[in-house]
Each structure stands twice: as C-alpha cells, then as structure tokens.
Structure 1
Amino acid sequence: MRVALNARILQAPRTGIGHYVAELAPALAGEPGLELTLFHGWGWSSELPAAAMPGYSRLSPWLRQVPGAYQARRWLEQRRFDQGRHATIDLYHEPSLWPMSFEGPIVMTLHDLTHVHYPATQPPARLKEIERRLGAGMEQARVILTDSQFVAEEAQDYFGLPRERFVVAPLGAAPRFHPREPAELEPCLATYGLQAHSYLLCVGTLEPRKNLSQALLAHARLPETLRQRYPLLIVGMAGWEQGQFSDTLQKALASSHVRLLGYLPDEQLAQLVAGARALVFPSRYEGFGLPVLEAMASGTPVVLARCAAMPEVADTAGNYVNPDDVDGLRHAMLRLIEDDGHWQACHEAGLQQAKLFSWGRCARITARAYRQAMGG
C-alpha cells in the first residue's frame, strides 16, 4: 500500500501536530506492506526534515491581511501535490485540518476542536479557511483518526458523522522522554541556575486556553521561601492573542520567581521535563495532552485539570484540579513540593501509566485504519 502523508507542518518549529507527524512517520515505516511518501508542501521526499525551515512563519502578519492569501498558498500547494504523485499513491493521510484534494481514499487525523471552542486562538483568516474546508474534508475522509475517545465522541456529535468512521489512535512519548539521573541533567540545568527537582514547569503555546494565568496566580500564593526554591518555568511558543493574560504574566516575571524560556529544542525540553519537581498543566481543553504523557514517561508527576481528554492520558496517575480553582492548584503544587512520599507515589504511577502508550501502538492502529479505508 502506497501512502502519502502530508508533512508540510514540519516546515514550522514543532509543536503538537508537528511532533505527531515527526514521530508517526518513522513508526509507520516499520509496518509491513506499507510504503510511505511525505509531501512537504513544495515537493515530495521519503525523509523527514531534520529541523524547521529557517525563519519559517505559517503566514506572516502582514500577509494575513491580504485577501485570499491562504487560498493562494493552498492553490500552489495543491498544484505541487498533483504534479508530484504521478498517480502512484493508493491512499492519502492528512494529519491536520485542511486535506488536499485527492480522488482516492483519504484518512484524516482530527486532533481536537480547538477552533470551535476557542476560535480566538486562530487568526481570523485562518479560522475562516478552517471553517470553509474542514467540514468538507471530514465528509470526504473514509476514516477519521482521533488521539482520544473524547475527541471522537465530540466530533461525532458536532459533525453528525457515524461512529464507525472514527478510529482512536492514542499518541506516544518520544524516546527522549525518560527518567534521568541528576548528574546527566546538571549541564543543562546549570545554564538556568537550577538543580534537579528544584522547579515547577509549564509547557505549552502561550494562549488563553492553556490557562497559564491560573498557574501563575497559584504559584504566587505559595510561601515566599518556596517560590524562591521552586521557581515556575514556562516553555512554549507565543500564541495568538496571548495578550489576554499578559498583565498577569508581566507581574509574575517581575517577581523573578517565574521564568519565560520561550520555545526550546527537543532535547533541551526533554531534560527540563525530566528534571522538574512537577509539570503544571491546568489547560482547559486538550484533544490528548502530549506534555502530560511525556512528563509521566520522564518520571515527573503531573498536576492537571480534569478536562477534555486529559483523564484518558493520566488516569489515576494525575493530580487533578478544577481549572478555575487557584487555591486547589496551589495546594497540589505544595503537596508535590513538601510530601516526598506522595511525590514518589506519583513518580511511580506515572511511569506505569506511560507504558500503556507508544508510537508503535499508534502506528499499528493507524496502519489498520489505512486498510479499513482501502476496504480491507
């Protein structure tokens, strides 16, 4: 079976969907009877790019204001897609929201409905294009993959599609996310003046649905001595309309107890995850919550909101809070800082829970979905 996977998103610095493509593609390469080809937006290759294109932007701010900019780029990509495949593809897999036109079987991955629940996280022109194309793509796809049962069920309701069109393929944690000894972490942590298990960590794009403002407020309510000993590190790219909580962030940064590190290379992030006392992840909405799984695979306890798909990932290994309960979030942080027995229990429970997920399993389910779409 000759499969085309749209890997255009790998031109950008890797966040959720980019990591999905980067990890799924090599895992699929080990599936018998499957020949995978990657479409990179402007051409075809059998190899993953080593890194994002220098200076890449999905669409520059000034170009977003040009009428039809998204449509024009999409038209050019469609031309490249049509010219390169030469009728040698049996099935096309679209891992994001905008499937290309293809006359054969299509499998599509729907990671979440963020654009429905939080439309402000999308630039207006992009949101309009998603709304124009997504419904048609969902109708055309023979099989729709989701990362969680939660997304499968809400998509069935929202789009009015039958349950048999959906296949749940949970994600995995990359091998770089594993427990590490303090000595291994020392060179990385020393650059930030940190020691292993002496800080709290937030990971995610800076946008309102991630609810980082609550994490900042909860951390600010810890005793002064603990805030000095356990600063809060925030790792992630700037998001759309991040200014909605910029005042809270600026006040926290002024205290020196919060550090905004921005987007970090994969290995550096993996070391920071492994060295954290806890991952603080109070997001209001996630189609899966990959940082939660990556933290558990690293042996790092997780504080998270009991929202959306995240309980499917953490199950009983998570420390759950109400996303609007600042004091509850503060208490969860405090317990993981002060109660070594609880920390150890969460460490062990997370490692066991993470073993249930792997990219190999995701690839096997995905390959079965391909065969289902082909009628096999």
Structure 2
Amino acid sequence: MRIALNARILQAPRTGIGQYLVELVAALRAQPELDLELFHGWSWSRQLPEAALPGYGRWTALARCLPGAYGIRRRLEQRHFSRGIEKAPVDLYHEPSLWPLDFDGPTVMTVHDLTHLHYPETQPRERLAEIERRIGPAMERARLILTDSQFVADEITAHYGVAPERLVVAPLGHAPRFHPRPPEALAPRLSAFGLRPGRYLLCVGTLEPRKNLTLALRAYRRLPAGLRRRFPLLIVGMPGWKQRTLAGELRDALADGSVRLLGYQPDDVLAELLAGARLLLFPSLYEGFGLPVLEALASGVPVLLSPRSALPEVAGEAGIYLEADDEPGWNEAIVRLIEDDQAWLRQRTLGLEQASRFSWQRCARITAAAYRRALEG
C-alpha cells in the first residue's frame, strides 16, 4: 500500500502537528504493508527533514505582508504534488493538517482541532480565508477523517455535519524521550539553566490568548515571595498571535526574576525540562488534544489543567482540574502540590498509569486501519 503523506508542515519549527507527523511516520513504518512517500512542498522523499527550513520564520512574516502569498504558494505546491503523483502513483493520500491538496484517489485527512472557528484571530487573514474556503469541501471529499480526540470528532459533526461513521478517533502518544528521570541524570542540563530538579514550575505552549497563560502568571504571582524564589516559573513556547496582550503581565512577572521566558526549545531539551519540573501548569481554554499534558504525565510530572475541550480525555483521573478563571483555586493547588509530597506522589502515580494507555504505536495501528478502510471504499 503506497501512501502519499504531506510533510510540508515540517518546514516550520516542530510544535504539536509537527510532532504528530514525526512520531506517526516513525510508527507507521513499523506497519509492514505500508510504503510511505513524503511530500515536502517542493520535493518528494522517504526521509523526514532533520530540522526546520532555514529562514522559515522570515518567509512567514513576509508572506503575511504580500497579498495572495498563501494562494500562490498553494498553487505551486499543488503543481509539484501532482507531478510527483504522475511519476510515482500512490494508492492513498493522507493530509495531516486541515485541508488536502487535490488528488483523484482516496484521501484521508486529519483534523486536530477547530481553532479557526473558535479563535479565527490566531490565523493570518489570508490563511484563514483559505481555510474557510477549502476545509468544508475537503471534508466532503475525504473518505475518512482522523481526529486526535472524541471531542474534536463531535465538534466536526456539529459544525460541518460529517456523519460519525466517517470519523476515526486516533489518540496521540508520547515519544520514548518523555519518561521519569533521576535527579543526577537531569543535573547537567538543568544546571545550564540555573535550575535544580523538582524545584521549578513549567508552562508549555505558544504564547497566545487561548493558552490562558495570564491565569497561570496571576496564580503564580499570588505565591509568597520566598516560595517563588524557591520555585521559579518557566514558560517554554514560540511567540504567537497577540503576544503583546501578555506583555504587561509578563513584564511585571519577569521583573523580579521568578518567571523566566525560555522561548522555543528543541525536543531533547523540552523532554528534560518536563522531567525535572515539580508541576506543569496548563490552563488552556481550547485544545484538540493537549500533547504537553500527556508528555508531562509520562515524565512523572503532575499537571494542573482546565476541564476544557479534549483535556479530560487526555489526563483522565490523573489531572488536577481547575476552572480556567479560578485564580485563587490555581494558587491553592500550586501551593498544595509544592508543599504536600504525599499528594504530589499520588498524582505522579496516577499520571504514569494514565500515560501508559497512550502510545504512537496504537495511533499508527488505528491510522493504518483507516487507510485500509478508505481503500475499500
């Protein structure tokens, strides 16, 4: 079974969808009947790129200023895609992000979330217009639609009228690098950041309003000054839409040194930062899955999170749920999980048990079964 898989998203630094693609491809290659051909936007290969395209951020910034840039790029990619298919035909095309390119054969697409509906401002105007124009027809053409969670599958049915039998839930997994680590294994990496294992809190996510980082900042700043000095708060993530709305909160929080903005971190660094954290704070308002939550649980780190969207599907009984606007409640939970070692250990055990239910191998098996079903018509 020859599968064309669009890997163009890997031109950008790897965040959620990029990680999904990398891990899924690795797991699918263990399926003996699958032969994967990866499309990179301009070329084809069987290999994943080792790093993002140099200068990708500058190109993206320029594209936002050029009228019609997204449409032009789309047409060029379609031309290269179609030429590749003509030279080496495939049985099925899998689009892992939002809207597929044109393809005459069976298509499977993955819809990770409907952020464009709930938070349209997170997309550049032209890209949003392309999404709105293409996603409905794409869903109609696709034989099957994969989702990361039942929550997103239900949203797709409600918003786009897609029959439930055309939706396949394939929960994500966690990479082997996310696992508990002894303090001595973490010390070299953490010391480079001036950190000690188990003596800091962590937020992971793009700096944009739907991640609700202002709530985490406000709850954290309620801690006594001494506790903040002992347990600094690290924020790891790429700049996002309207980061300036966080500027005031961040400026005040950064002033005394207890909050640190680390920006985007490579995969191996993030894995060690997660494993060394006392807690992950994840007050997001909307997630199609919430991969950092699963990765933290797999690393033996308790998670405080909001009971919104797909997050309860991921964290299950291991999550410590607090409403996304309950600043005092978040503050109290942070203090309790810092000071009560027994409570922390209970959550750690629950988290490891919950994480064991998810794997990329399972995601790949469900995905491969969807390919077979799509080919059967």
Q: What is the TM-score when the length of structure 2 is the normalising length?
A: 0.98
- Structure 1 residues 307-353: Cα deviation after superposition (integer angstroms, max 9, x where no partner): 00000010000111000111111111111101100000011110010
- Structure 1 residues 212-250: Cα deviation after superposition (integer angstroms, max 9, x where no partner): 000000000011111110010000000011112211111
Residue identity opposite 1:71 in structure 2: G
Partner Cα distance (2:144, 2:314) in 1: 23
Partner Cα distance (2:70, 2:283) in 1: 33
- Residue 154 of structure 2 is matched in structure 1 by 153
1:350 has 2:357 as partner: no
Query: Is the Cα–Cα contact under 8 Å of residues 213 and 284 in structure 2 kept in the other structure?
Result: yes
- Residue 330 of structure 1 is matched in structure 2 by 331
Partner Cα distance (1:328, 1:367) in 2: 43
Residues 228 and 342 (structure 1), Cα distance of their counterparts in 2 relative to 1, 3 Å cut:
same
- Residue 9 of structure 2 is matched in structure 1 by 9
1:305 has 2:335 as partner: no
1:33 has 2:33 as partner: yes
Give the SS at the match of 1:190.
Answer: helix
1:58 Cα deviation from its structure 2 partner: 8.0
1:97 Cα deviation from its structure 2 partner: 1.2
Partner Cα distance (1:363, 1:235) in 2: 28
In the TM superposition, 1:229-244 aligns within 5 A as 229-244=230-245
Structure 2 unaligned residues grouped into runs of 5+: none
Q: Kindly report structure 1 stretches of 4+ aligned residues shifted beyond 4 Å.
A: none
Query: Is the Cα–Cα contact under 8 Å of residues 99 and 109 in structure 2 kept in the other structure?
Result: no
In the TM superposition, 1:285-324 aligns within 5 A as 285-324=286-325
Give the SS at the match of 2:93.
Answer: strand
Q: Note the aligned Cα RMSD (angstroms).
A: 1.0
Query: Is the Cα–Cα contact under 8 Å of residues 206 and 238 in structure 1 kept in the other structure?
Result: yes
Partner Cα distance (1:345, 1:59) in 2: 47
- Structure 1 residues 246-298: Cα deviation after superposition (integer angstroms, max 9, x where no partner): 11111111121100000011101000000000000000000000000000000
Partner Cα distance (2:68, 2:126) in 1: 9
Partner Cα distance (1:61, 1:47) in 2: 27
1:87 Cα deviation from its structure 2 partner: 5.0
1:61 Cα deviation from its structure 2 partner: 2.5
Residue identity opposite 1:119 in structure 2: P
- Structure 1 residues 170-198: Cα deviation after superposition (integer angstroms, max 9, x where no partner): 00001100000100100111011110010
Aligned residues: 376
- Residue 223 of structure 1 is matched in structure 2 by 224
Give the SS at the match of 1:60.
Answer: helix
Residues 285 and 58 (structure 1), Cα distance of their counterparts in 2 relative to 1, 3 Å cut:
farther
- Structure 1 residues 52-111: Cα deviation after superposition (integer angstroms, max 9, x where no partner): 112213843233222211000011101110111225111000000121000100000000
Query: Is the Cα–Cα contact under 8 Å of residues 12 and 58 in structure 1 kept in the other structure?
Result: no
Residue identity opposite 1:200 in structure 2: L
Partner Cα distance (1:60, 1:287) in 2: 24
Give the SS at the match of 2:71.
Answer: helix
Q: Give % identity.
A: 63
Give the SS at the match of 2:254.
Answer: helix
Residues 214 and 226 (structure 1), Cα distance of their counterparts in 2 relative to 1, 3 Å cut:
same
- Residue 69 of structure 1 is matched in structure 2 by 69
Partner Cα distance (1:312, 1:226) in 2: 32
Structure 1 unaligned residues grouped into runs of 5+: none
